[in-house]
Each structure stands twice: as C-alpha cells, then as structure tokens.
Amino acid sequence: MAEVPEALGLAPEAVQRVLEAASLAPSVHNAQPWRFRVLPDRIELHPDPRRRLPATDPDDRELRLSCGAALFNLRLALQGEGVRPLVSMLPGQDAPGALAIVRRGGTIEPDDEQRALLKAVPRRRTNRRPFHEARVDPRQCHALVRAAELERSWLHVVVTPQDRAQLKKFVKQAHEIQLRDEAVQAELASFTGHRPGSTDGIPAASAGVRPELQDEWVFRDFQGPERLPGKDYESDPLVVVLCSFYDGPLGDLQAGQAMQRVLLAATVHGLSASFLSQPVEVHSVREQLRRSLGGVLVPQTVLRLGYSTPVAATPRRPLSELLLEPDDCRS
C-alpha cells in the first residue's frame, strides 16, 4: 500500500484516518470518483476521470455531488483531529484539475454537533429497504433543513399531495426513459451485484427488494431479491429535494457537502435515507422539476427518508488506489 504522508501538521496515521473518512462518502453506483493529493501544506481533492458515468451523468454533476460529500467528510474528520479546515473550491491554477484544496486554518476543538456528525460517518448507509409506516418527527425534519442551510443549500420538503403526486410522476417518467437507454442500463449493470471481494459497486445485500413500476415511488433496480407477496414499500416517506442556489460546478460541490450533512444529520437522528435520482439525471425531467420548484432553485438530488432496519455497509476502494503522487497532475 502507498505510504500516506504527513500533512497539515498531522502524522501519517491521522492523515490516513481523515482520507478513510472522506472515502466513506456516498457516490452514484458506489463508483467512488475521488482521488487525493497529499502535500505537507494541503490535501487536494481531485475527480477520478476513470470513474465517470458518461451515460448516467454526462455533465459530471453527480460526480461533483459525490466529491462534495467526500469533501464534507474530510472537513469533519480534520476537525476531529483538531485542524480547522480552510477550503478553496475550484482552485484553478493553484492545483490544476482539483475540485478543492484543503489547508490548515489553525486549530479547533470540535463541538458536540461536529463530534456527533463525525461519529455518524461510518454508520451512514443508503437504505433501500421498505421503511416503517411512521411519520418523520417535524423536529427531525427541521434539523435536516437546517443542515442544508448551514452548507448554503436548500432542502425543499415535498409536503402537499399535489407536489408529491407531481414528483412521483417525474420519478416514473425519468425512470422509464432510463429503462429504454441501453447505455444507462449498461452502467447500472456494471456496478450491480458485484462478487464478494469487490471494492466498488452495489452488492446484492444492499440492493433492496426488487422495485415494480406500479410502486408509488419507483426505485432504481439493483437486482435485489423478489418481493414477498403482500410486502410493500411504505406509503408515506418523507421526500425532499436538495437544491443549490446556482447552477454549475461550484453549486454542485456546495450541494454535495449539503447532501452529506443532511444524510449524516439524518443518521444522528436515527433516520434512514435512500435516493430517487432519476428525475435529476434526465435533463428534460429535471427542467420540469426545476420549473415546478419556481424556476430559481437548482434541483440536485431527491431523497426519501424514514425509519427502517439497519443495512450492511458497501465496500470501498483501498486508500492506495485513491492517492495521487505529489508530482502527478493527471485529473
């Protein structure tokens, strides 16, 4: 395994802990499209171009969301090591190709909230199982809205029956478009049901049960087990649309950090979450969704939240695959 060097005044073992926490972030199909360049005065976050999903995510928007989530974990883990992270996003010539540079901005004693979020990093999982028929407590819902606001993003809670019906329609419409798209289906298949020992993708144990087109909310099909007769999904999950205030790479990175803060806050509150990304992946449907939200907010991801039984963790690539050499400028 490649040696993890010292950085930001931290010993190699501490840098390793920080990078491992970053790599526990969620990513589309668990592709883990991030790499890190570690120098004495900085940790750079780079996209991994070999982990792009050109059919599902042609503009790399979701790649940047995933990398934003890794950046949030990295910030939290640095705080846990007593380092105040100073982040420059899209640093340009300072680090060609990098999505962010994180430097040391002094020392910090993490507060209770940061500690709780950091503890939630290894416990957070995408949970595709049916949820219990219980409404999410409004105080917990408020905590999620606040989590997004703290990361300069917006969490739109889909409340009214009309809005919920419309969003369900968008999910179904986009899902059907993606079912007909062979390239999208090929990408999905290449990350589904990986054999034991695989370090990416979605193992059968995390697939959830098979979705059906008549479901209220149509999930992506990761070839999970067939549903038992009479066993259905919950009728009324909390559904939210995480939005950025502007379009483009910076908005995407911001939204990725907000997404992760929302997911970790949900974990702290005992909530499970899964994604309904189809309507933000199909351009024409995303545009309709954007208009339905008033035309100003930029919809970045759709989450379903509720209470469920625990699920197993998905695998991660070893750190040795994630480290860029100090003089390596590929990205």
- DSSP of 278-292: HHHHSHHHHHHHHHH
* Closest distance to ligand FMN from the beta carbon of 141 (Å): 21
When asked if residue 301 is in the footprint of ligand FMN (CB under 6 A), the reply is yes
List, in sequence order, every residue forming a beta bridge with 84; answer none if it has no partner.
none
Decide whether 71 or 276 has the Cβ nearer to ligand FMN: 276
Nearest-CA neighbor of 273 among 139, 145, 124?
Answer: 124
As a whole number of angstroms, the distance between CA 105 and CA 100 comes to 15
CB nearer to ligand FMN: give 72 or 275. 275
Residue 250 beta carbon to ligand FMN: minimum distance, rounded to whole angstroms: 16
Q: Which is nearer to ligand FMN, 26 or 85 (CB)?
A: 26
Instruction: Report residue 144 as tokens.
Output: 């999620």
Instruction: Please report, for residues 27, 33, 200, 331, the alpha-carbon distance to residue 241 in angstroms, rounded to integers and kept in the order given.
Output: 17, 23, 26, 30
Rule CB under 6 A: say whether 178 interacts with ligand FMN: no
Q: How far is CA 173 from CA 67, 166, 213, in A?
A: 28, 10, 10
Give rounded-to-5 percent helix, strand, coil for the chain: 40, 20, 45
Closest approach, Cβ 297 to ligand FMN, in A, equals: 17
- Least distance to ligand FMN from the beta carbon of 205, Å? 11
When binding is defined by CB under 6 A, the residue of 14, 18, 26, 118 that contacts ligand FMN is 26
175 binds ligand FMN (CB under 6 A): no
- 326 phi and psi, to 5 degrees? -55, -35
Nearest-angstrom CA–CA distance, 236 and 190: 32
Site string for ligand FMN, 49-88 (x = CB under 6 A): -------------x--xx--x-------------------
Q: How far apart are the first and last CA of the chain?
A: 21
Number of H helices, E strands in the chain: 9, 9
Question: According to the binding rule CB under 6 A, does residue 251 interact with ligand FMN?
Answer: no
**Which one of the spans 28-36, 82-90, 181-189, 209-217 is the region binding ligand FMN (CB under 6 A)?**
28-36
Site for ligand FMN in 188-207 (CB under 6 A): 202
Q: Is 126 in the site for ligand FMN (CB under 6 A)?
A: yes
Q: How far is the CB of 32 from ligand FMN (least distance, A)?
A: 8
Q: Among 39-47, 100-108, 165-173, 275-283, which window interacts with ligand FMN (CB under 6 A)?
A: 275-283
Rounded least distance, CB 29 to ligand FMN, Å: 6
Buried b / exposed e along 133-150 (16+ C-beta atoms within 10 A): eeebeeebbebbbebbee
Kindly list the residues in this chain that would bind ligand FMN in the complex (CB under 6 A). 26-30, 62, 65-66, 69, 125-126, 128, 202, 219-220, 274-277, 301, 314
